[in-house]
Homo-oligomer: A and B are copies of this chain.
């Protein structure tokens, strides 16, 4: 929970109404995706939603759907967008909506654990992993499952759940399951498998796949995520979890997400309006600037290299521009602490099952914050503080 604590205490640089000063602490620990605000501003009223006082009052959206609290318009929008992008199979899948994919990840772990005979079920992910997985699977101290850390060193018997994030958070690499034992289940987190971040090389059809509205369009405040689930019993158990956890998902947010996802679909082949094209250019520019600073630093810092790949969505050979930069340093330094002295908050690599030589840096902040980050990173190298 450290990340958002920092944010709360020192978010002055993330507040768009503030002018950035040299004294401003900039927070690149969390992945608040404010980078895309400009695009939505330019879209004008095209994405405006209006909700009347008597709309959306019931707990129920569609009593005949397994996920009875999901707005039918949102389900249609989700299926339509995946069909247009080709980044997930939705045929013969149940869709479960959640209060962000955070709630859905916990719903999936709970559902898969509850159908196993022996407890606790081991939960693991290959390092470096999304640090929040640790918090999500430990804070309740459930007897049903147990966080076991790095999947690569997992050698226990019995049922397990492997969390596979691809492209990976924090390091942007393309991932597959690594344990592959008969008694395991895999939850695929495809939060970043969208064409502004990475080439769409295949259309995954795994049993459980998670997506989040936040990281597609940047609407993190809406707290909307969804799961594509092959097995009806698993989908039902996830719905039961969300029912007891929060009796469904706010319908205003669902309605707005449906509107915006439909705009993504409608514009995705437009040369002038495509959000994915806009997003890719934005990410590309930032990555080029970051790589230039790293180069100028005489490679005192490190960044992962990503292979080019053919993107089925764009029909072109494309590079990968992850939402987070996994920045390392060559010497045995605590990079997070050094950056903190420069008033840059990042997520320490050891929180992600790696080491303190690495940090996760959000690439999704506003332009002025990103510029200040580059400046301070360059200073760290120039001042020979490493």
Within 8 A of B (CB), among A17-48: 30, 32-34, 36-37, 40-41, 43-48
What chain B residues lie within 8 Å of A32 (beta carbons)?
Answer: 58-60
Q: Mark A53-73, 1 if CB is under 8 A from B, else 0.
A: 110111111011010100000
CB atoms of B68 and A54 under 8 A apart: no
CB atoms of B245 and A106 under 8 A apart: yes
Counting CB contacts under 8 A, is A253 at the interface? Answer: yes
> Which residue of B11, B50, B63 contacts A48 across the interface (Cβ within 8 Å)?
B50
Report the separation of the CA atoms of residues A220 and B54 in the bound assembly, to the nearest whole angstrom: 11
Report the separation of the CA atoms of residues A116 and B102 in the bound assembly, to the nearest whole angstrom: 27
Report the separation of the CA atoms of residues A218 and B56 in the bound assembly, to the nearest whole angstrom: 10
Closest chain B CB from A363 CB (angstroms): 16
CB atoms of A135 and B244 under 8 A apart: yes
CB atoms of B50 and A49 under 8 A apart: yes
CB atoms of B246 and A100 under 8 A apart: yes
Within 8 A of B (CB), among A233-264: 240-241, 243-253, 255-256, 260, 263
Counting CB contacts under 8 A, is A344 at the interface? Answer: no
Q: List 10 A-B contacts (CB under 8 A).
A: A4-B68, A7-B68, A8-B64, A40-B52, A41-B53, A56-B221, A102-B245, A223-B249, A252-B255, A252-B256
Q: Mark A1-21, 1 if CB is under 8 A from B, else 0.
A: 100100110011011000000
> Which residue of B12, B36, B144, B245 contacts A103 across the interface (Cβ within 8 Å)?
B245
> Which residue of B33, B41, B132 contacts A54 across the interface (Cβ within 8 Å)?
B41
Report the separation of the CA atoms of residues A139 and B99 in the bound assembly, to the nearest whole angstrom: 18
CB atoms of A57 and B30 under 8 A apart: no
Counting CB contacts under 8 A, is A296 at the interface? Answer: no
CB atoms of B244 and A245 under 8 A apart: no
Give 19 A-B pairs besides A224-B250, A246-B246 with Cβ atoms closer than 8 angstroms.
A7-B68, A8-B63, A11-B60, A15-B60, A32-B59, A41-B53, A48-B50, A49-B51, A50-B51, A56-B222, A99-B223, A110-B140, A132-B244, A136-B244, A140-B140, A141-B142, A141-B144, A222-B250, A250-B253
Known: A58-B34, A220-B59. Contact between A103 and B246, CB under 8 A? yes
Known: A47-B52, A50-B50, A143-B143. Contact between A58 and B14, CB under 8 A? yes
> Which residue of B50, B53, B136, B143 contacts A260 across the interface (Cβ within 8 Å)?
B53
